[in-house]
Amino acid sequence: MPQIRRDPFTNEEVVIVVERSKRPSHWLTKDNYKDDTYRKSNNCFFCRGNESSTPPESFRINDMDGDWIVRSFPNKFPIFSPNSRVVQEREGLFDVTNGTGTHEVIVEHYKHDKNFFNMSVEEFKYMILAYRERYTVLYNEPFTQYVSLFKNYLKEAGASINHPHSQIISLPIVSNKVMMELHNCKRFYDDRGESLHEVVIREEKKRGDRVILESDSFIVITPFASKYKYETEIIYKKDDLFQSIPKSTIGELSEVFFNLFNRYRKVLGIFPFNLILHGHPKSMEDIFYKWHFHIVPRLSYHAGFELSTGVYVNDVLPEEAAKQLVSSDI
Ligand SMILES: [Zn+2]
Ligand SMILES: [Zn+2]
């Protein structure tokens, strides 16, 4: 029987309809992708040796020989660009803000054929160190209201370049979608005196059937109202902002990523996905909200029903996805 589930963080509705998974379809997964999807490329702008093809570097982490492992630089084709000031204009009903912000690329590894499914704990650590560094710099820009950090992996998830990389953008606004999560968390906190994340974590631990793994500072779950099959969320259980996490927590988070993506690989093979960090907006560094990563596998396309109603259809029960991810022996 189909179920309509409502996400307590966003109020968005999802129809979970398992019967539909039996219809013939082509999942965008292991049959389509092999480990060698990413072959080495001599003319890749992001590879070691081709640094002069990118805009000037903003950050790097070097190895013992002085060669870079991870580096970042401005996006050549930015969504937003740095302006001297944010201008807001209104013409009748319509308002416009100029797109002031910094848009950077973080190359996660110098090796062209690295990806989340074959990276080591150490390699995740360098990547997250770079995330934290660039997040902090962009967050502290005077016009920043919010920093969006995300990764598109493979074409179906929006990637245009194969070399492993993420993107980070500082925004002069807090978008509606982010606001919706924050408002629901704030309303819950005002009503109940505790954080929605804490209550969800407590209830998920009590149920246990949507928890994939837990460490001292993190819990990984398949969200109750997962819009995408095999969607997961890594929630930071403590109260520091993303930019304030200590190095030891970065090590712990690297292990969580390593563990999770090895499980994913066992269950689904290599597949397209988006990684999204939801951190705190500058004006709302409060304890009613905890930063978290959404991992969104792109195993099928959403279509007219989603566009028309805003209701997503998912044909894998989040509890079933969790069961498979938990039992995959890594
Ligand atoms: Zn490359
Ligand atoms: Zn979120």
Q: State pLDDT tens for residues 152-190.
A: 999 889 888 889 999 999 999 999 989 999 999 999 999
Whether 89 is in a domain gets the answer no
pLDDT score for 77: 86
- Spacing, Cα 104 to ligand 1 middle (Å): 17
Kindly report the CATH number assigned to the domain that includes residue 11. 3.30.428.10
Q: Is there a contact between 275 and 166 (Cβ–Cβ < 8 Å)? A: yes
Is 192 exposed, middle or buried, given 0-12, 13-18 or 19+ CB atoms closer than 10 A? exposed
- Spacing, Cα 241 to ligand 1 middle (Å): 32
Whether 256 is in a domain gets the answer yes
Q: Which ligand is nearest to the CA of 279?
A: 2
The domain of 250 spans 3-84+94-327
Residues 256-280 have a mean pLDDT of: 96
Q: Which ligand is nearest to the CA of 41?
A: 1
Sign of CA dihedral 241, 246, 249, 253: positive
- Spacing, Cα 234 to ligand 2 middle (Å): 10
Please give the model's pTM, rounded to 2 decimal places: 0.92
User: Comparing 8-17, 83-92, 298-307, which segment has the lowest mean pLDDT?
Assistant: 83-92
- Spacing, Cα 292 to ligand 2 middle (Å): 6
DSSP code of residue 172: S
- Spacing, Cα 29 to ligand 1 middle (Å): 23
List 148's β-bridge partners, or say none: 169
- Spacing, Cα 247 to ligand 2 middle (Å): 23
Whether 64 is in a domain gets the answer yes
User: Comparing 57-61, 99-103, 261-265, 276-280, which segment has the lowest mean pLDDT?
Assistant: 99-103
Domains identified in the chain, total number: 1
pLDDT score for 36: 46
Whether 284 is in a domain gets the answer yes
Whether 278 is in a domain gets the answer yes
Whether 163 is in a domain gets the answer yes
Q: Which ligand is nearest to the CA of 54?
A: 1
Backbone angles phi, psi at 200, to 5 degrees: -60, -45
Whether 230 is in a domain gets the answer yes
Cα separation, 171 vs 204, in Å, equals 33
Is 159 exposed, middle or buried, given 0-12, 13-18 or 19+ CB atoms closer than 10 A? middle
Backbone angles phi, psi at 291, to 5 degrees: -70, 150
CB burial of 88-113 (b: ≥16 within 10 Å; e: otherwise) equals: eeeeeeeeeeebbbbbbbbbbbbbbb
Task: Using DSSP, state whether 148 is helix, strand or coil.
Answer: strand
Q: Which ligand is nearest to the CA of 112?
A: 1
Task: Using DSSP, state whether 105 is helix, strand or coil.
Answer: strand
- Spacing, Cα 290 to ligand 2 middle (Å): 9
- Spacing, Cα 91 to ligand 2 middle (Å): 32
Whether 27 is in a domain gets the answer yes
Q: Which ligand is nearest to the CA of 225?
A: 2
How many other C-beta atoms lie within 10 A of the C-beta of residue 118? 17
CA 145 centroid distance within chain: 19
pLDDT band at 29 (very low <50, low <70, confident <90, very high): low
Cα separation, 61 vs 170, in Å, equals 22
